Structure 1
Amino acid sequence: MTHEHPPASRKAPYQSNFAVVHFSRTYDEAFTLLVEARNYLAAHRSKHRKRHNNREAIARCVEEMRMTTRLIRAMAWLLAVKAVEEGEILWEDVIDTDDLMVDLRICLEDRDEACASLSPGLLDLMDRAHALYMRTARMELQVAARCAN
Protein backbone atom coordinates (compact mmCIF):
# COMPACT_ATOMS: atom_id res chain seq x y z
CA MET A 1 0.00 0.00 0.00
CA THR A 2 1.70 3.09 -1.23
CA HIS A 3 0.85 6.58 -2.32
CA GLU A 4 2.46 6.01 -5.72
CA HIS A 5 0.49 6.09 -8.91
CA PRO A 6 1.50 3.90 -11.85
CA PRO A 7 3.22 5.61 -14.74
CA ALA A 8 0.84 6.49 -17.56
CA SER A 9 2.98 4.57 -20.07
CA ARG A 10 2.53 1.11 -18.59
CA LYS A 11 -0.48 -0.81 -17.33
CA ALA A 12 -0.16 -1.36 -13.60
CA PRO A 13 -2.64 -1.78 -10.80
CA TYR A 14 -3.67 1.49 -9.22
CA GLN A 15 -2.26 1.90 -5.76
CA SER A 16 -3.43 4.39 -3.23
CA ASN A 17 -4.02 4.71 0.43
CA PHE A 18 -7.43 6.12 1.28
CA ALA A 19 -6.97 4.90 4.87
CA VAL A 20 -6.24 8.39 6.13
CA VAL A 21 -8.22 10.63 8.42
CA HIS A 22 -10.60 11.92 5.75
CA PHE A 23 -11.43 8.40 4.63
CA SER A 24 -12.13 7.26 8.18
CA ARG A 25 -14.38 10.25 8.73
CA THR A 26 -16.18 9.61 5.46
CA TYR A 27 -16.76 5.98 6.42
CA ASP A 28 -18.03 6.97 9.86
CA GLU A 29 -20.27 9.61 8.29
CA ALA A 30 -21.68 7.09 5.82
CA PHE A 31 -22.42 4.54 8.49
CA THR A 32 -24.03 7.11 10.79
CA LEU A 33 -26.11 8.57 7.96
CA LEU A 34 -27.25 5.12 6.84
CA VAL A 35 -28.47 4.31 10.36
CA GLU A 36 -30.09 7.74 10.70
CA ALA A 37 -31.93 7.30 7.38
CA ARG A 38 -33.11 3.83 8.37
CA ASN A 39 -34.42 5.12 11.68
CA TYR A 40 -36.13 8.11 10.08
CA LEU A 41 -37.83 6.05 7.38
CA ALA A 42 -38.94 3.39 9.85
CA ALA A 43 -40.38 6.00 12.23
CA HIS A 44 -42.25 7.92 9.53
CA ARG A 45 -43.39 5.16 7.17
CA SER A 46 -46.98 4.75 8.36
CA LYS A 47 -47.52 8.46 8.98
CA HIS A 48 -46.65 9.36 5.38
CA ARG A 49 -48.90 6.74 3.83
CA LYS A 50 -52.07 8.27 5.20
CA ARG A 51 -51.53 11.99 4.57
CA HIS A 52 -50.44 12.48 0.95
CA ASN A 53 -52.07 12.19 -2.44
CA ASN A 54 -50.77 9.67 -4.94
CA ARG A 55 -48.42 12.02 -6.81
CA GLU A 56 -46.79 13.23 -3.61
CA ALA A 57 -46.58 9.69 -2.23
CA ILE A 58 -44.92 8.40 -5.40
CA ALA A 59 -42.47 11.32 -5.49
CA ARG A 60 -41.60 10.78 -1.82
CA CYS A 61 -41.11 7.06 -2.37
CA VAL A 62 -38.87 7.64 -5.41
CA GLU A 63 -36.74 10.15 -3.52
CA GLU A 64 -36.49 7.91 -0.46
CA MET A 65 -35.34 5.09 -2.71
CA ARG A 66 -32.85 7.35 -4.48
CA MET A 67 -31.53 8.48 -1.08
CA THR A 68 -31.07 4.92 0.13
CA THR A 69 -29.46 3.97 -3.19
CA ARG A 70 -26.98 6.81 -2.76
CA LEU A 71 -26.19 5.72 0.79
CA ILE A 72 -25.83 2.05 -0.07
CA ARG A 73 -23.66 2.83 -3.09
CA ALA A 74 -21.43 5.13 -1.01
CA MET A 75 -21.11 2.53 1.74
CA ALA A 76 -20.34 -0.22 -0.80
CA TRP A 77 -17.54 1.89 -2.28
CA LEU A 78 -16.10 2.69 1.14
CA LEU A 79 -16.17 -0.97 2.16
CA ALA A 80 -14.44 -1.88 -1.11
CA VAL A 81 -11.72 0.68 -0.37
CA LYS A 82 -11.25 -0.88 3.06
CA ALA A 83 -10.96 -4.32 1.46
CA VAL A 84 -8.31 -3.07 -0.98
CA GLU A 85 -6.39 -1.40 1.83
CA GLU A 86 -6.45 -4.68 3.77
CA GLY A 87 -5.12 -6.55 0.72
CA GLU A 88 -8.26 -8.66 0.36
CA ILE A 89 -9.04 -7.56 -3.21
CA LEU A 90 -7.42 -5.57 -6.03
CA TRP A 91 -8.57 -2.23 -7.41
CA GLU A 92 -9.37 -3.94 -10.70
CA ASP A 93 -11.87 -6.14 -8.87
CA VAL A 94 -13.57 -3.07 -7.41
CA ILE A 95 -13.99 -0.93 -10.50
CA ASP A 96 -16.93 -1.66 -12.78
CA THR A 97 -17.26 1.35 -15.06
CA ASP A 98 -20.57 0.23 -16.58
CA ASP A 99 -22.14 -0.24 -13.15
CA LEU A 100 -20.75 3.10 -12.01
CA MET A 101 -22.27 4.92 -15.00
CA VAL A 102 -25.71 3.38 -14.34
CA ASP A 103 -25.51 4.39 -10.68
CA LEU A 104 -24.44 7.92 -11.58
CA ARG A 105 -27.39 8.31 -13.92
CA ILE A 106 -29.86 7.18 -11.24
CA CYS A 107 -28.29 8.99 -8.29
CA LEU A 108 -27.72 12.34 -9.99
CA GLU A 109 -31.27 12.91 -11.21
CA ASP A 110 -32.96 16.05 -9.93
CA ARG A 111 -35.74 15.90 -7.39
CA ASP A 112 -39.33 15.73 -8.47
CA GLU A 113 -41.32 18.96 -8.15
CA ALA A 114 -43.64 17.23 -5.70
CA CYS A 115 -40.74 17.03 -3.24
CA ALA A 116 -41.58 20.53 -2.05
CA SER A 117 -44.05 18.93 0.35
CA LEU A 118 -41.46 16.67 1.99
CA SER A 119 -40.57 17.20 5.62
CA PRO A 120 -37.51 19.27 6.47
CA GLY A 121 -35.99 16.24 8.20
CA LEU A 122 -36.25 14.10 5.08
CA LEU A 123 -34.96 16.91 2.85
CA ASP A 124 -31.96 17.29 5.16
CA LEU A 125 -31.24 13.55 5.02
CA MET A 126 -31.58 13.62 1.23
CA ASP A 127 -29.16 16.53 0.93
CA ARG A 128 -26.56 14.91 3.17
CA ALA A 129 -26.90 11.59 1.32
CA HIS A 130 -26.40 13.40 -1.97
CA ALA A 131 -23.28 15.19 -0.70
CA LEU A 132 -21.82 11.94 0.62
CA TYR A 133 -22.61 10.14 -2.62
CA MET A 134 -20.94 12.87 -4.68
CA ARG A 135 -17.74 12.63 -2.61
CA THR A 136 -17.51 8.86 -2.93
CA ALA A 137 -18.45 8.94 -6.63
CA ARG A 138 -15.59 11.38 -7.26
CA MET A 139 -13.20 9.03 -5.46
CA GLU A 140 -14.44 6.11 -7.50
CA LEU A 141 -14.16 8.02 -10.77
CA GLN A 142 -10.57 8.98 -9.91
CA VAL A 143 -9.63 5.37 -9.25
CA ALA A 144 -11.44 4.19 -12.40
CA ALA A 145 -9.50 6.72 -14.46
CA ARG A 146 -6.21 5.54 -12.98
CA CYS A 147 -7.06 1.88 -13.57
CA ALA A 148 -7.97 2.63 -17.20
CA ASN A 149 -4.48 4.05 -17.91
Structure 2
Amino acid sequence: MSESVTDTAFNSGTPAGRVSEFAGSEHFARLFRDGMDMVEETASYLDGPGREDAKAMGRAGALAYAAESMKLTTRLMQAASWLLAQRQVAEGDLSPDQLVNGQYRLPADDDPEELWPADGDIAPGVLADLAGRSRQLYARLKRIDESLFDGAGASESGSPVGDQLNRLMDAFGQ
Protein backbone atom coordinates (compact mmCIF):
# COMPACT_ATOMS: atom_id res chain seq x y z
CA MET A 1 0.00 0.00 0.00
CA SER A 2 1.02 3.54 -0.59
CA GLU A 3 2.95 5.22 2.19
CA SER A 4 1.18 8.51 1.45
CA VAL A 5 -2.17 7.24 2.71
CA THR A 6 -2.62 7.90 6.40
CA ASP A 7 -3.98 5.41 8.90
CA THR A 8 -6.97 7.68 9.49
CA ALA A 9 -8.00 7.28 5.84
CA PHE A 10 -8.13 3.50 6.35
CA ASN A 11 -10.27 3.81 9.46
CA SER A 12 -12.48 6.68 8.33
CA GLY A 13 -14.85 4.63 6.23
CA THR A 14 -14.51 7.13 3.41
CA PRO A 15 -14.64 5.92 -0.19
CA ALA A 16 -10.96 6.85 -0.62
CA GLY A 17 -10.08 4.82 2.46
CA ARG A 18 -12.03 1.83 1.23
CA VAL A 19 -10.40 2.09 -2.20
CA SER A 20 -6.96 2.18 -0.62
CA GLU A 21 -7.68 -0.84 1.59
CA PHE A 22 -9.16 -2.82 -1.27
CA ALA A 23 -6.40 -1.99 -3.76
CA GLY A 24 -3.76 -3.18 -1.31
CA SER A 25 -5.52 -6.42 -0.43
CA GLU A 26 -4.72 -9.97 -1.47
CA HIS A 27 -8.36 -10.24 -2.58
CA PHE A 28 -7.73 -7.50 -5.15
CA ALA A 29 -4.47 -9.11 -6.30
CA ARG A 30 -6.30 -12.38 -7.06
CA LEU A 31 -9.17 -10.56 -8.72
CA PHE A 32 -6.73 -8.58 -10.86
CA ARG A 33 -4.95 -11.75 -12.01
CA ASP A 34 -8.26 -13.49 -12.77
CA GLY A 35 -9.56 -10.48 -14.72
CA MET A 36 -6.42 -10.04 -16.77
CA ASP A 37 -6.24 -13.78 -17.46
CA MET A 38 -9.78 -13.60 -18.83
CA VAL A 39 -8.86 -10.65 -21.06
CA GLU A 40 -5.91 -12.62 -22.44
CA GLU A 41 -7.95 -15.80 -22.88
CA THR A 42 -10.67 -13.89 -24.73
CA ALA A 43 -8.21 -12.12 -27.02
CA SER A 44 -6.55 -15.45 -27.87
CA TYR A 45 -9.88 -17.03 -28.70
CA LEU A 46 -11.25 -14.13 -30.75
CA ASP A 47 -8.00 -13.74 -32.71
CA GLY A 48 -7.62 -17.47 -33.31
CA PRO A 49 -10.21 -20.24 -33.06
CA GLY A 50 -13.03 -17.72 -32.81
CA ARG A 51 -12.45 -16.56 -36.35
CA GLU A 52 -12.91 -20.11 -37.59
CA ASP A 53 -16.05 -20.51 -35.46
CA ALA A 54 -17.53 -17.36 -37.01
CA LYS A 55 -16.71 -18.48 -40.56
CA ALA A 56 -18.55 -21.76 -39.99
CA MET A 57 -21.82 -19.95 -39.27
CA GLY A 58 -24.55 -18.69 -41.52
CA ARG A 59 -25.07 -14.97 -42.10
CA ALA A 60 -27.32 -14.42 -39.05
CA GLY A 61 -25.03 -16.47 -36.83
CA ALA A 62 -21.95 -14.57 -38.02
CA LEU A 63 -23.68 -11.24 -37.29
CA ALA A 64 -24.73 -12.46 -33.84
CA TYR A 65 -21.16 -13.67 -33.25
CA ALA A 66 -19.77 -10.25 -34.24
CA ALA A 67 -22.21 -8.43 -31.97
CA GLU A 68 -21.53 -10.77 -29.04
CA SER A 69 -17.77 -10.50 -29.47
CA MET A 70 -18.00 -6.68 -29.50
CA LYS A 71 -20.08 -6.69 -26.31
CA LEU A 72 -17.68 -9.17 -24.74
CA THR A 73 -14.66 -7.08 -25.68
CA THR A 74 -16.26 -3.86 -24.44
CA ARG A 75 -17.27 -5.45 -21.13
CA LEU A 76 -13.78 -6.84 -20.55
CA MET A 77 -12.05 -3.59 -21.51
CA GLN A 78 -14.20 -1.69 -19.01
CA ALA A 79 -13.38 -4.29 -16.36
CA ALA A 80 -9.66 -4.17 -17.20
CA SER A 81 -9.63 -0.38 -17.06
CA TRP A 82 -11.28 -0.46 -13.63
CA LEU A 83 -8.82 -3.10 -12.38
CA LEU A 84 -5.84 -1.15 -13.74
CA ALA A 85 -6.99 2.02 -11.98
CA GLN A 86 -7.22 0.08 -8.71
CA ARG A 87 -3.74 -1.32 -9.30
CA GLN A 88 -2.42 2.21 -9.85
CA VAL A 89 -3.70 3.05 -6.37
CA ALA A 90 -2.02 -0.05 -4.94
CA GLU A 91 1.27 0.96 -6.58
CA GLY A 92 1.00 4.58 -5.46
CA ASP A 93 0.72 5.96 -9.00
CA LEU A 94 -2.80 7.27 -8.39
CA SER A 95 -4.27 8.60 -5.18
CA PRO A 96 -7.43 6.93 -3.86
CA ASP A 97 -9.14 10.33 -3.98
CA GLN A 98 -8.66 10.41 -7.76
CA LEU A 99 -10.77 7.27 -8.11
CA VAL A 100 -13.61 8.74 -6.08
CA ASN A 101 -14.36 11.52 -8.60
CA GLY A 102 -16.51 9.23 -10.76
CA GLN A 103 -14.53 8.87 -13.97
CA TYR A 104 -13.24 5.47 -12.84
CA ARG A 105 -16.66 4.03 -11.98
CA LEU A 106 -18.05 1.05 -13.83
CA PRO A 107 -21.19 1.76 -15.85
CA ALA A 108 -24.11 -0.64 -15.68
CA ASP A 109 -23.71 -3.67 -17.94
CA ASP A 110 -26.70 -3.06 -20.17
CA ASP A 111 -26.89 -6.26 -22.18
CA PRO A 112 -30.57 -7.19 -22.45
CA GLU A 113 -30.43 -8.34 -26.05
CA GLU A 114 -30.44 -12.11 -26.58
CA LEU A 115 -28.64 -12.89 -29.83
CA TRP A 116 -28.78 -16.67 -29.86
CA PRO A 117 -29.90 -18.78 -31.57
CA ALA A 118 -29.66 -16.82 -34.79
CA ASP A 119 -31.59 -18.51 -37.58
CA GLY A 120 -30.59 -21.91 -36.30
CA ASP A 121 -26.96 -21.08 -35.51
CA ILE A 122 -26.12 -21.46 -31.86
CA ALA A 123 -23.33 -19.62 -30.07
CA PRO A 124 -19.99 -21.40 -30.20
CA GLY A 125 -19.39 -23.02 -26.81
CA VAL A 126 -16.20 -21.10 -26.09
CA LEU A 127 -17.79 -17.75 -26.94
CA ALA A 128 -20.86 -18.53 -24.79
CA ASP A 129 -18.60 -19.57 -21.91
CA LEU A 130 -16.45 -16.44 -22.18
CA ALA A 131 -19.52 -14.20 -22.42
CA GLY A 132 -21.08 -15.81 -19.35
CA ARG A 133 -17.89 -15.65 -17.31
CA SER A 134 -17.29 -12.03 -18.35
CA ARG A 135 -20.80 -11.11 -17.18
CA GLN A 136 -20.09 -12.79 -13.83
CA LEU A 137 -16.76 -10.97 -13.47
CA TYR A 138 -18.33 -7.66 -14.43
CA ALA A 139 -21.21 -8.13 -11.97
CA ARG A 140 -18.70 -8.93 -9.23
CA LEU A 141 -16.62 -5.84 -10.03
CA LYS A 142 -19.78 -3.72 -10.17
CA ARG A 143 -20.79 -4.89 -6.68
CA ILE A 144 -17.30 -4.05 -5.39
CA ASP A 145 -17.42 -0.69 -7.18
CA GLU A 146 -20.72 0.14 -5.50
CA SER A 147 -19.47 -0.90 -2.07
CA LEU A 148 -16.30 1.17 -2.46
CA PHE A 149 -17.82 4.33 -3.89
CA ASP A 150 -21.46 4.46 -2.88
CA GLY A 151 -20.97 4.40 0.87
CA ALA A 152 -22.19 0.83 1.04
CA GLY A 153 -18.96 -0.47 2.54
CA ALA A 154 -19.03 -1.56 6.13
CA SER A 155 -17.37 0.62 8.69
CA GLU A 156 -14.61 -0.56 10.95
CA SER A 157 -17.07 -0.68 13.83
CA GLY A 158 -19.60 -2.72 11.87
CA SER A 159 -22.41 -0.93 13.71
CA PRO A 160 -25.30 0.97 12.15
CA VAL A 161 -24.38 4.06 14.19
CA GLY A 162 -20.76 3.89 13.01
CA ASP A 163 -21.94 3.45 9.43
CA GLN A 164 -24.20 6.49 9.72
CA LEU A 165 -21.40 8.59 11.24
CA ASN A 166 -19.11 7.59 8.36
CA ARG A 167 -21.77 8.63 5.82
CA LEU A 168 -22.14 11.99 7.57
CA MET A 169 -18.36 12.52 7.58
CA ASP A 170 -18.28 11.62 3.86
CA ALA A 171 -21.09 14.09 3.14
CA PHE A 172 -19.32 16.93 4.93
CA GLY A 173 -15.89 16.10 3.51
CA GLN A 174 -14.29 15.09 6.81
> Do the two structures share a fold, i.e. TM-score over 0.5?
yes
* The one of 105, 108, 114 aligned to 1:104: 108
Rg (Cα) greater in structure: 2
* The one of 89, 93, 98 aligned to 1:93: 98
Q: Give the Cα–Cα distance (whole angstroms) in 1 for the partners of residues 99 and 51 of structure 2.
A: 38
The alpha-carbon distance between structure 1 residues 13 and 22, as it changes in their structure 2 partners (threshold 3 A), is closer
Q: How does 1:130-141 map to 2 (within 5 A)?
A: 130-141=135-146
Unaligned runs of 5+ in 2: 152-166
CA contact (8 A) 2:15 2:100 kept: no
Compute the displacement of 1:60 (Å).
Answer: 1.2
* TM-align CA RMSD: 2.8
- Number of equivalent positions: 142
Quick one: percent identity of the two aligned structures? 23
TM-score normalized by the length of structure 1: 0.77
Q: Give the Cα–Cα distance (whole angstroms) in 1 for the partners of residues 117 and 41 of structure 2.
A: 23
CA contact (8 A) 2:64 2:115 kept: yes
Q: Give the Cα–Cα distance (whole angstroms) in 1 for the partners of residues 108 and 73 of structure 2.
A: 14
The alpha-carbon distance between structure 1 residues 123 and 105, as it changes in their structure 2 partners (threshold 3 A), is closer
Give the corresponding residue for 2:11: 4
Q: Give the Cα–Cα distance (whole angstroms) in 2 for the partners of residues 99 and 77 of structure 1.
A: 6
CA contact (8 A) 2:11 2:17 kept: yes
Q: Deviations over 1:9-44 (max 9, x none)?
A: xxx662121122221111111111111111111112
The alpha-carbon distance between structure 1 residues 143 and 104, as it changes in their structure 2 partners (threshold 3 A), is same
Aligned with 2:92: secondary structure?
A: coil
Compute the displacement of 1:57 (Å).
Answer: 1.5
The alpha-carbon distance between structure 1 residues 131 and 97, as it changes in their structure 2 partners (threshold 3 A), is same
TM-score normalized by the length of structure 2: 0.67
Q: Give the Cα–Cα distance (whole angstroms) in 1 for the partners of residues 134 and 124 of structure 2.
A: 15
Q: Is it true that 1:113 corresponds to 2:120 in the alignment?
A: no
Q: Is it true that 1:122 corresponds to 2:127 in the alignment?
A: yes
Q: Give the Cα–Cα distance (whole angstroms) in 2 for the partners of residues 67 and 22 of structure 1.
A: 24
Compute the displacement of 1:81 (Å).
Answer: 1.0
CA contact (8 A) 1:5 1:14 kept: no
